[in-house]
Every structure is written in C-alpha cells, then in structure tokens.
Amino acid sequence: MPERRPLLQSFRTRQRCCNYVRGHIFAVGGLTKTGDSVSTVEVFDPAAGRWQLAEAMSMMRSRVGVAVMRNKLYALGGYNGQERLSAVEVFDPLKRVWNRITSMRCRRSAVGAAAFNDQLFACGGYDGVSSLNTVECYTPDNDNWTPVASMLKHRSAGGVAAFQGFIYALGGHDGLSIFDSV
C-alpha cells in the first residue's frame, strides 16, 4: 500500500522533474500558483522523511528537463516566463553548488532528458514555435553538445529513459495530438 510522504516546502503547481541522486530525491524548478517560473530546488531525504530547500538554480525554469549523470543533477532548457532556454546547469550534491555548462544548440522547454554511457541526451521539446524531433548529445569530458539522429515524431513533454542499451521516448504531444507511442 502506498505511503503518504511529507509535502514540498514551497507550493508549486507542478515541478518539471523529480530525480534521484545519492539517496535523495530532487524536485527541480516548476511554477507558482500564479504561473511564474521558479529557480527553487527541494530535496527529499527518505531517512529523515522530510523535504528541505536545496541550492537554487541560477535562473528560473519551468518545463525543465532533468537527468542524473555521474552522481550530478543536470537541468536542461525550460521556460523562464518570457522565453524558452538553451542554458544548462549542473548541480554537484557534495559541493552543494550549481554551475553553468555549455548551452544546448537550440532552445527547448518541455524537453526530455536522459543519461546514457556517460553522455546526456536532450530529446525533443518545444522551441516556442513548434514541437521538436531533434536530439542533442552532451559529452562532459569536452563540454560539447552535438546533434544526433532525430526522433521519428516531433515530441514535447514526453518521458525519456535509458534502458538496456537504448534511449526510449514515451508519450508527450506535438501540439495537436497526445501520444501513447514509444
């Protein structure tokens, strides 16, 4: 039977992503009750059973893509309330600091993100005009984004996961249709 856990400290209509790093769950960015993007990050400690505020990102982001690679948390793109973002930040939970890294090649909100083979993939999203089918790959060793094969469908707000040697893009929409495809 599911167990109810404590609520986040700050109200959000929706955080874009929760992710697991070093035994903790992170809720990153999101929207306030009035629809404003936020830079706040909260972390849930299962052992203590409570949420705490973590270090905020350097910019406000809703509809942000989040992934974990090498025990660090990455925040990709998103929407700051005025424009879609290409900026990327990485959080080191041991140093408790966010750092900017090279921006993606295009602006993406509602972007799917996954780590695979020590690389980070930004899949689809929305650039402010249309849903995207393009995919970019980040290699941390040279701090560089490169385009890779595009998805078959333009896809915003889809789930993305790496599993058994493949990257899967699930669900989402293209602005007209909601997908149940993988």
Q: 108 is written with which tokens?
A: 């993406």
The whole-number pLDDT of residue 47 equals: 87
Do residues 158 and 121 make contact, with C-beta atoms less than 8 angstroms apart? no
C-alpha–C-alpha distance, residues 153 and 134, integer Å: 9
pTM, 2 dp: 0.89
The whole-number pLDDT of residue 17 equals: 54
DSSP letters for the chain: -----PPPSS--SB-SEEEEETTEEEEE--B-TTS-B---EEEEETTTTEEEE-PPPSS--BS-EEEEETTEEEEE--B-SSSB---EEEEETTTTEEEEEPPPSS--BS-EEEEETTEEEEE--B-SSSB---EEEEETTTTEEEEEPPPSS--BS-EEEEETTEEEEES-B-SS-B----
The total of other beta-carbon atoms located within 10 Å of residue 168's CB is 15
Q: Of 5, 95, 98, which is closest to residue 45 (Cα–Cα)?
A: 5
Structural domains in the chain plus CATH codes: 17-170 (2.120.10.80)
The whole-number pLDDT of residue 182 equals: 85
- Averages of pLDDT over runs of 10 residues in the chain (182 residues) are 56 54 87 93 90 96 96 96 98 95 98 97 98 98 98 96 95 92 86
The whole-number pLDDT of residue 11 equals: 55
Q: 94 is written with which tokens?
A: 């041991």
The whole-number pLDDT of residue 20 equals: 62
Distant-in-sequence, close-in-space partners of 23: CB < 8 Å, separation ≥ 6? 45, 46, 47
